[in-house]
């Protein structure tokens, strides 16, 4: 093998000067140059450009699917929130329906009643029922009279001279009750403060 290689190398060196080393000899000893057309080699598999195009198409497809999924999620969430806002008070309204029925019965009873004490008792029962239902939903009354004035939970209507020195800066009277709903103020107490 080595001898064959050496002989080929010597033949290349022994070529005439007008034939360069890049030229080769054909079977008929005429030099062929590279300027003649050569057939390009056909790639066995897809080219790198085709692979990149496929990867790009797959990435775009994944992006479009993800975007569509997110858009559907956003639309579904918005619809659920709207539905929740429409029916947020449903539980409370259903709980108050028996009280409404009691008020209707009381109104009918007052039309023909001559006993004021019976009407008072009926109204007191309905009020007690409302307080119980609201209490079950987390509503509690705010105690304000005699407490130090707190702007976070009280709304001062006016201030009057304090009857005693220890009532200065404290709530003397309450015009409208304040309420908490699950330890959060839902209505401030309207109060009169001692000055």
Strands 189-194 and 154-160: parallel
Nearest to 177 by CA among 158, 159, 155: 155
Q: The tokens of 178 are what?
A: 């304040």
Domain count across the chain: 2
Note the pLDDT tens digit of each residue in 126-168: 888 888 888 888 888 888 888 888 888 888 888 888 888 888 8
**Alpha-carbon distance 148 to 158, whole Å?**
15
Neighbours of 47 (CB within 10 A): 9
Quote the percentage of the chain above a pLDDT of 70: 77
Residue ending a domain, choose from 137, 156, 173:
137
- Looking at the fold, whether 124 and 186 belong to one and the same domain comes out as no
Confidence (pLDDT) at 14? 53
Instruction: Note down the domain range covering 118.
Output: 62-137
How many Å separate Cα 39 from the centre of its chain?
A: 62
Confidence (pLDDT) at 53? 93
pTM for this structure?
0.50
């Amino acid at each position: 093998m080595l001898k064959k290689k050496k002989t080929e190398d010597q033949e290349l060196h022994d070529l005439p000067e007008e034939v360069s080393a890049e030229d080769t000899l054909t079977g008929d000893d005429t030099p062929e140059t590279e300027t003649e057309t050569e057939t390009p080699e056909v790639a066995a598999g897809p080219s790198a450009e085709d692979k990149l195009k496929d990867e790009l198409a797959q990435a775009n497809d994944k992006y479009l699917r993800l975007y569509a999924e997110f858009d559907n999620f956003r639309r579904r969430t918005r619809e659920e929130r709207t539905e929740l806002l429409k029916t947020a008070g449903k539980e409370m309204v259903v709980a108050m329906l028996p009280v409404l029925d009691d008020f209707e019965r009381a109104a009918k009873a007052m039309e023909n009643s001559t006993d004021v004490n019976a009407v008072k008792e009926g109204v007191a029962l309905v009020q007690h029922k409302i307080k119980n239902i609201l209490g079950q939903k987390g509503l509690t009354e705010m105690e304000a009279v005699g407490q130090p004035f707190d702007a976070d939970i009280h709304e001062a209507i006016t201030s009057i001279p304090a009857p005693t020195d220890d009532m200065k800066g404290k709530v003397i009277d309450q015009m409208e009750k304040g309420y908490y709903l699950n330890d959060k103020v839902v209505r401030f107490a309207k109060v009169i403060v001692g000055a």
